[in-house]
Structure formats: C-alpha cells, structure tokens
A and B are shown apart, each in its own frame.
Chain A
C-alpha cells in the first residue's frame, strides 16, 4: 500500500484550485487539462469529487504498459513514469480502473500524480481542506456504463452515501 492523496467530497467546493496549481507546479502553466488531480463535477447532481491517483497495489496501468515506462518505485511505493520510455500509446488510460489517468494534451504521456516529491501543491492550496494523505483506496465497484465516463461513475459512487444522508435529513 502506498500513501497517496485522498479527498473528502463533503468538503470539496469544486473550485478546481488544486488542478490549476498542480498544472502550474508541473508545467508552469494554468489548466485543468494539464493537471494530475482531477475534479469531477456535475452541476445537475451537485457533485464535486477530486479524483486522485490511488497508486493501486495491483497497478493495472503499469501492468499493461508495453514499454515498462510505468513502474512501481520500491522506495516510495508510488507508481512512476519514465518519460523517455513512454511512447504515448494510451493503454494505461484504458486500464485505469477509476478513469483517473489521462494523456498530456501536448506530449501524449500519462498525467500521473508524483506527490510533488513529498509536499503536494494541491493539499497546500485547497481552500476547504478537502485533500489529505491517506492509505485508503477508493472502491472499484462502479457503474460501468455511465455515459459521462468512468471517472464520473466513481464520483457518483463515492457521493451516493452523502446524498442519501442529505435527503434523509431534509425538511
């Protein structure tokens, strides 16, 4: 098990401030499409869920990688990317059980969380304290045919309990 970034959907405000400063830290520019943390939002369902790399024990992304560019780093326990080995085929994106991985819009290499080498920018910048470090991994029990994608399905599954609670207490 690897320490990774976790999220509390009851606190997240969906502002994407984490995405912006993640992209700045890693790329020097501002854009959610260059971020290694991904906030799934749905205004109709009022969902905000920051999806993060779980650095899974079985690491399906590393397993499928044809060039071994993705590998488990034994020191930190994280799944890491060797830039020079990656050919941008995108197999890892399909393999990711959470729909978390996406490709860098310019270099076509997977955007994977590296915990900023130990002091994650997203946790520092989050205005509501919704992000933290954890060992707990997300459930993979999700609706497979969600039209809005696997990441959306994870967000729906993770926020279902909260919604039930809200509805139960409504007056």
Chain B
C-alpha cells in the first residue's frame, strides 16, 4: 500500500454528549469516489443521518470537511463545506465557505470534523495536532461574532489559530444562522450555524503545526505555474481583485436581472448609486484574500455607522449588497453597509434575511400587514431605520421578527398570508437574481439539492449570450443565451457536475468555474500529482455526477419529487415588468423535462433510474431506496 499524499488521513469524530473523541482512518476508496469536502459530507450524511432525524436534535450530525488541495500551494484552494440535515429546509443542509480554516484543519491533522450529540452546556472546541479540548463557553455564549472572536483570540493567545463561530441568532434558534469563519466568511445557507448552536457549540478553534506533502512535487509545481499564468492574464482578474462579486450589481441592472423591490423590478433607477464601482471609490481601502489565493477578491472597507462611529469591515459580496439595497428598495449605500455588518455580526444568512424583510415589505405595501402586527415598524421600501430594528428583532426572536426568524416559507404559513410571494424553493430563500432574466439559473434554483441557490450549478456562461459557444458545447445555440430555453437542461446538468466536483476539491469556484481555468483534464493531473493515486479524466468526470445523484437520492428518501422542483408562481406566470428582460416568464416545465432526460432520472417523479445509480457505483443506495419502499425505474 502506497502512502496517501495530500490528505491529513484522519477523520475526527466528536461526541458532545459523552465528551468522547475518536480519530478514524480516511479510506482510499472514499478519496477515489468522492475526493473531499462536499462529497465526503454528503456520503456520510446519507449513511448516518436517516429520514426522520430531528435537525435540531442530538441525533443530527454536523460535518466540516475540506479537500486534498487545502494547505498546499495551489491557488484558490482552501474552502470547507459544512453539512447537516437542515433545520430550515428539512432536507440536505450544506454550505461552503472560504477563509483560512480548511488549511489549518489539515495542518492540525484532520480532513473532516464530525460533531455528534449535544453538549449539556455551552462549549467551544479547541483542536490541535495533539489534543482536542472542550472549553467552557459560558462567558461568550450570546455574544456577537466580533466580540466572541476577539475574546477567544485573547484567551488562547495565538493569532495563528483559526476560528469557526456561531452568533446569537443561531443560539436563539433563528433557523438561518450561519457558521462564520474568519469573522466574515460564513457558511451561511441552510442554517448550519443553528445546528451547531443546538449542540451548544459556540466555536471550533483549530491550530495546527503540521504540513501537507504532495506526491509529485515537480508536476504539481508545473501545474501551479501554468495556472498562475492563466490567472494573471485572465480578463476577469482585475475586476475581481478590485470589486469582487459586487461588480455584478451594475452589470445585472443592464440586463434587468436584479431582484428590485422584492422581484417586482428587474431594473432600478439607482443601481449606480449602490454599485460595486461606487463602493470601490468611496469605501474600499484594501484587498484581502482567503488562504493561498492569488485573486484576493475580498475588500476591507471603512464607513461611518448611524452613530457616527467609524467602522472597519470586510467582505460584502454581491448577494449582501443587492439584498440590502435593490431588494428592499434602499438607495443609501452607507446604510446598506451598516445593515450587512449587523446581519453578519448577529450571525445570520444575509440572503434569507433580505428575503424575509423584502417579503414583509411587499406585504405591507399591498396592505396585508397591519400596523399593530408590526409593533410600530413602518415597512415602506427602503426605510432603513425599520430594517435595522427588524434585523435585531429577527436575531432575538422579538416582536414581528420572531415570525420571520423561521424563514419565509414558515412565516407565510404562520401568518396565513403572502404565500404567493414567498420566494423560496424547498424552503430555501431565493438569491438576488430574477430567473425570468436568467433562465439557466432559474432551472438551477428549481433542481438544486439544497433549494433555491445558484452555487449548485452557476451556469455563468449563459451571460455570454454567445450562440456559437452553445452550439459547440451542447449542440444547442440557446444553451448559452440567457433568455434561451432549449439546451438549458444540458447546461445545468453539466455545470452541476462541475460544481459538485469543485466543492469536493474545495477549490474556489471563481477559479474553476467562473474563470473556467480548472477543467477536467487539469483536475485529473492535479489529483494525481497531489495524491499519488492515478485519476483518469473519466473517473474525475464521474465524481461530480456521483455526488449529484447521491444528493438526489438523499432528497428522494426525504420525500422530494418532481413536484417540488419548481419556482415561485410569480416567475412562472407574471411577465417581467421592466428592463432588458421585459415580458419574459420562465418556461420551467420544458427545461425540467430536458434536465431529467439528460440526468437519466424518471421524468414523472424525478427519481434517479436504477441503471444510472448502478453505473455510478451507488449499489448500496439502490438497495437502501428499495428497502424504504421507493420505486426505481
């Protein structure tokens, strides 16, 4: 048996109820079939978290995993996936984040951390190469992210330690609390922080002193040099360095894809005032990056908050920017920065927060919310005093905020109003893009394994509006045109496979997907150079598809079928009212048919066919589904 290079080779299992810690060996078979990160997590979730598990009970398991690339000198290669059964959606919970945590895990000698059970009192966990400590967190329980971060750092007296934290919102049971790495890099979607807090874990601290060794240094270095050259000469390099994703806001306005005023306007007249360009000129002071990144796209910015105090903050991507400006009708960029800062500090998912607030605003505008229900809050578009107050109410489950704290689907259910405009898929709130203007994205939202989210497929290429590209890649010119319909099934399936692979490599999607630099051929070379195992292009291609099918099987087991792969009614029925996508609706059913066809899933039910699962080596899943009475075709 040859040595397994690149990985730490260990899985750390922490039982919080019994305060027991166990290291397990990482198997080569798992590596060959799932690579790391998202693949490792979903495989274990399928095996160990059966249907009927209470997401906030001790039987749910929270997993944090990184991949083979983390800790090496490969550019943009240190991300982590946090997965568990989601309290927000009741299905697969999974969220990906950057920062410095993944590499530190490797240096501390673990590839995956599993939290099981439930601690009787608040703790934080301190992981080094030699020890795993359960430390008292009574003193930091309830504190905001920034305060808790500072305090832990002082307590452990070590600036090299990396910290994953949950905020007060997660502790209070808000269903969309995130796990925050390096303070502002959250794995925010699907309420993973809420699961961590339900186990009474405030933070996980990792501090290593080890190293990562690659199997074939010469080939590895040659590949890195090649990739560096491609990165530095790429057309997206400087825009990404200067603005990160915030540049999408102005570009998105031009094509009419913004979620303006809760998806009632695809184009708004104040996009420039709140754009990434203005942000760069007025507020940004410097760039920052994740570990081992050569396209540092995070920005440090300084602004004065309402009390006149100067604040140095960081991050702010397009989702947060658009969420706290165009989606809620706010024209004041400075106040948007303040709102995003508050949401992050309280530890919530800013996308979901922007949906519940803008949803309440639309209800208020059309007279479906009474003043006495709101306890004096005035929810006119862009009323930021109310928004800031409401954010706090949500995080502490007070007043009207307590209804919103369970996500928009449950809020509409509880209130008995506004179901028609609750914008979610499978209970996960929609991101800041109108699917009527980006039809591939729309299909992606409908079928994504965690609910309405773009990062499961990110068919960025449809923005090129280049029919030749579509003809070449998919034999369908419309596939790479944003308002096209035919070929979108192929497009989304293709990019879903890539995203699943990239999430398992734990490389940044900016490099692998958006800049389109890491293809299957390079991935095969990379994995071979790092691990020393042989990876063929075909094997690598299968990995993404295997993960997608396994995730689908997980959803099927939880009762998800084709009828759940849908979009909110507005996008299917009401034509886009303005902007460059005016008059469009999304032709979802046609695209779905094509998608299932490409996937080899049953067109009526959306269940993967037995032959597909078997081809991908998921025989155990076939047996499991059959045993549970799921009919496979």
Q: Which residues of A does B touch, CB under 8 Å?
A: 10-11, 13-17, 20-21, 23-24, 27-34, 40-46, 48, 105, 127-128, 147-149, 151-152, 163, 166-167, 169-171
In angstroms, Cα B146 to Cα A163, docked, is 18
The residues in B between 176 and 227 inclusive whose CB is less than 8 angstroms from any CB of A are 182-184, 208-214, 217, 221
Contact A44-B150, Cβ < 8 Å, known A21-B73, A30-B73, A147-B157: yes
A33 pairs with B107, CB closer than 8 A = yes
The reply to whether the CB of B18 lies closer than 8 angstroms to some CB of chain A is no
In angstroms, Cα B228 to Cα A128, docked, is 13
In angstroms, Cα B301 to Cα A167, docked, is 10
Contact A152-B159, Cβ < 8 Å, known A15-B289, A171-B283: yes
In angstroms, Cα B313 to Cα A17, docked, is 23
Contact A166-B312, Cβ < 8 Å, known A31-B211, A44-B183: yes
B288 pairs with A46, CB closer than 8 A = yes
A-contact bits for B63-89, CB 8 A (1 contact / 0 none): 000000001110100000000000000
Question: How far, in Å, is A25 (CB) from chain B's closest CB?
Answer: 10
Q: A43-B182, A43-B183, A163-B312 are in contact. List 14 more A-B contacts (CB 8 A).
A: A13-B287, A14-B289, A15-B289, A16-B100, A23-B211, A30-B72, A32-B107, A32-B160, A40-B159, A41-B159, A48-B288, A127-B296, A147-B154, A167-B302
Which residue of chain A has its CB nearest to the CB of B212? Answer: A30
A169 pairs with B302, CB closer than 8 A = yes
Contact A10-B286, Cβ < 8 Å, known A17-B73, A149-B159, A171-B304: yes
In angstroms, Cα B153 to Cα A109, docked, is 27
The reply to whether the CB of B137 lies closer than 8 angstroms to some CB of chain A is no
Contacts of B292 in A (CB 8 A): 15-17, 20
The residues in B between 318 and 375 inclusive whose CB is less than 8 angstroms from any CB of A are 334
The reply to whether the CB of B626 lies closer than 8 angstroms to some CB of chain A is no
A15 pairs with B310, CB closer than 8 A = no
Contacts of A29 in B (CB 8 A): 211-213
A16 pairs with B291, CB closer than 8 A = yes
A44 pairs with B287, CB closer than 8 A = no
In angstroms, Cα B481 to Cα A93, docked, is 60
Question: How far, in Å, is A112 (CB) from chain B's closest CB?
Answer: 18
B213 pairs with A127, CB closer than 8 A = no
Question: How far, in Å, is A167 (CB) from chain B's closest CB?
Answer: 4
Please tell me which one of the listed residues A16, A31, A127 contacts residue B295 in the complex, with CB atoms under 8 A apart: A127
In angstroms, Cα B292 to Cα A32, docked, is 11
The reply to whether the CB of B272 lies closer than 8 angstroms to some CB of chain A is no
Which residue of chain B has its CB nearest to the CB of A21? Answer: B73
Please tell me which one of the listed residues A27, A33, A128, A171 contacts residue B282 in the complex, with CB atoms under 8 A apart: A171
Contact A170-B310, Cβ < 8 Å, known A16-B292, A28-B217: yes
Question: How far, in Å, is B128 (CB) from chain A's closest CB?
Answer: 12
Question: How far, in Å, is A120 (CB) from chain B's closest CB?
Answer: 15
Q: Which residues of B does A touch, CB under 8 Å?
A: 71-73, 75, 100, 107, 146, 149-150, 153-154, 157-160, 182-184, 208-214, 217, 221, 282-283, 285-296, 298, 300, 302-304, 310-314, 334
Which residue of chain A has its CB nearest to the CB of B146? Answer: A44
In angstroms, Cα B287 to Cα A74, docked, is 39
Which residue of chain A has its CB nearest to the CB of B207? Answer: A33
23 A-B residue pairings within 8 Å (CB atoms): A13-B286, A13-B287, A13-B293, A14-B289, A14-B296, A15-B289, A15-B290, A15-B296, A29-B211, A29-B212, A32-B107, A43-B182, A43-B184, A44-B146, A46-B312, A127-B294, A166-B285, A169-B302, A170-B283, A170-B310, A171-B283, A171-B303, A171-B334
In angstroms, Cα B146 to Cα A108, docked, is 35
B288 pairs with A13, CB closer than 8 A = yes
In angstroms, Cα B213 to Cα A27, docked, is 10
Contacts of A169 in B (CB 8 A): 302
In angstroms, Cα B160 to Cα A106, docked, is 18
Contact A24-B73, Cβ < 8 Å, known A149-B157, A163-B312: yes
Question: How far, in Å, is B69 (CB) from chain A's closest CB?
Answer: 10
Contacts of B208 in A (CB 8 A): 33
A31 pairs with B296, CB closer than 8 A = no
Which residue of chain B has its CB nearest to the CB of A27? Answer: B211
In angstroms, Cα B108 to Cα A105, docked, is 13
Contacts of B159 in A (CB 8 A): 40-42, 148-149, 151-152
In angstroms, Cα B77 to Cα A17, docked, is 11
B71 pairs with A15, CB closer than 8 A = no
In angstroms, Cα B314 to Cα A43, docked, is 9
Contacts of B290 in A (CB 8 A): 15
Question: How far, in Å, is A99 (CB) from chain B's closest CB?
Answer: 11
Which residue of chain A has its CB nearest to the CB of B293? Answer: A15
A15 pairs with B291, CB closer than 8 A = yes
Contacts of B312 in A (CB 8 A): 45-46, 163, 166-167
Please tell me which one of the listed residues B71, B288, B294, B304 contacts residue A30 in the complex, with CB atoms under 8 A apart: B71
Contacts of B71 in A (CB 8 A): 30-31
A44 pairs with B153, CB closer than 8 A = yes
Question: How far, in Å, is A109 (CB) from chain B's closest CB?
Answer: 15
Question: How far, in Å, is B397 (CB) from chain A's closest CB?
Answer: 27
Which residue of chain A has its CB nearest to the CB of B104? Answer: A32
In angstroms, Cα B81 to Cα A59, docked, is 46
Please tell me which one of the listed residues B217, B287, B293, B303 contacts residue A170 in the complex, with CB atoms under 8 A apart: B303
In angstroms, Cα B312 to Cα A163, docked, is 9
